[in-house]
Amino acid sequence: MLSLALASGCGAQSAGEHAACTSDLPEGFRCQQALSVEQSECSGNATGETLTPSVHWTTDGKALHIEDVRFRCKQSVCAYVDTSSRGSTAQVLLQPCDMSPSTVYRCDCGYSFDVPISLPSTTTGVSVQQRSDAYGGGEPTSRVIGNVAVGATAKLCDDSTALRFAMNVAGGNLSGLPPALSELGWALLLIDGQCRYYAMTQPDREIRTGVLSDTQAQSFSLELSLGAWDGLSASGGCSDASGQNFAFGPDRASISCASTALSVAGDRWLEQLYDQGTAVGGPVRYWVLEASNSQWPESNPDVALPYPLREPPSEVSDPFEPGNVSIASGADATKLRELRAQYQATTPIPLAPEYSVPVVVATPETGTQYCNLSLRDTVPFEVDGQLKIDDFIE
């Protein structure tokens, strides 16, 4: 994010102070008040560069953060609000404080702005417009540079226990793997209203949890454009590929076979939060499959670890069947997690079972049997093994 210069435009009023509206406004714009503005320093010469403005709410939902907007070098910018529309959308206008400058710098800069704003309770959205100056007698031009929703959907952490944000990678061809492996998808990131997150980077790895700091929550909101997905259509799509799905409040976005600013930011935050998190506790879902379709029992039988639970599996499923999923808690869940960690800490063997731990089950009745044991941690936002985003998100 650009560093902010703390000078304010619009007569240098402080946040919360109501300055007078200027008379030099576009026709039809009915200004209720001028807004305080924190304008960034110039990000560099943007002359001839393509900038894509973005508009977000700050984490507390009290200010607009407007980024990558082009104005002239060293040009102070003011902001004004029009809430007179009979509809539910307010208009915020960014324009030079001096609309008729006698001299200008012959270069452009990219700026960002923080604009605190208080809106009527009936307002459901804000449209942000940019207007140019009238240097040299030219006619100012205006354009819409962003739209955001207003209300709870614009705030990530609202102190509730509800799910606020969800990203998961799911779908695609399982290539003969048991369907239970993809119950939560191939990767996920879930964040609740208290900023607690759950991160999974691979379905056979531990799920980790932690809490975002206030600074992280603000950066996350800005980088993933929370509250500003309106009109964002599904991106990409190809046969047998998984899709990256996003949810924030009522907003949804899907990306497949494409790299976008949203997908890149989501991937980056998933890795960052996973690295800083700690392993979750709670129940473990697990299933045991015959190793008859694997080659490791013949080539590397010594890698099999002893089945860790006192009671043998109630059922060993055929590798191509859905599998009999069991749930372990308490000491049994701990034993399964320890087995997974022990196996994953060893050097991978050729022809190792995918997403599973090779185990040997020995009972008087069946003798020695080689199996593939798969397990995964659980998260609070699932029902009967299925991720239920719409049931928990607010």
CA distance linking residue 393 with residue 381, whole number of Å: 9
SS3 for 281?
A: coil
Q: What mean pLDDT do residues 19-23 have?
A: 85
Other beta carbons less than 10 A from residue 239's beta carbon: 7
pLDDT above 60 for 12: no
Closest CA to 138 of 86, 96, 82: 96
Q: Can you give the pLDDT at residue 294?
A: 86
Q: What is the DSSP secondary structure assignment for residue 45, as one 8-state letter?
A: B
pLDDT range class, residue 73, cuts 50, 70, 90: very high
Helix (H), strand (E) at residue 371: strand 367-377
Q: Report the number of secondary-structure helices (H) and strands (E) in the chain.
A: 5, 25
pTM value is 0.67
Q: What mean pLDDT do residues 258-276 have?
A: 91
Other beta carbons less than 10 A from residue 199's beta carbon: 26
Closest CA to 91 of 82, 78, 99: 82
pLDDT range class, residue 249, cuts 50, 70, 90: confident
Closest CA to 94 of 70, 73, 118: 70
pLDDT above 90 for 342: yes
pLDDT digit string, tens, across residues 173-190: 766 566 677 889 899 999
pLDDT above 50 for 70: yes
Beta strand 251-256 with 108-116 is unpaired
Q: Can you give the pLDDT at residue 7?
A: 37
pLDDT digit string, tens, across residues 303-331: 999 999 998 888 887 766 666 789 999 99
Instruction: Provide CB contacts within 8 A for 223, sequence distance 6+.
Output: 265, 268, 269
CA distance linking residue 351 with residue 343, whole number of Å: 15
Q: Can you give the pLDDT at residue 237?
A: 63
pLDDT above 90 for 333: yes
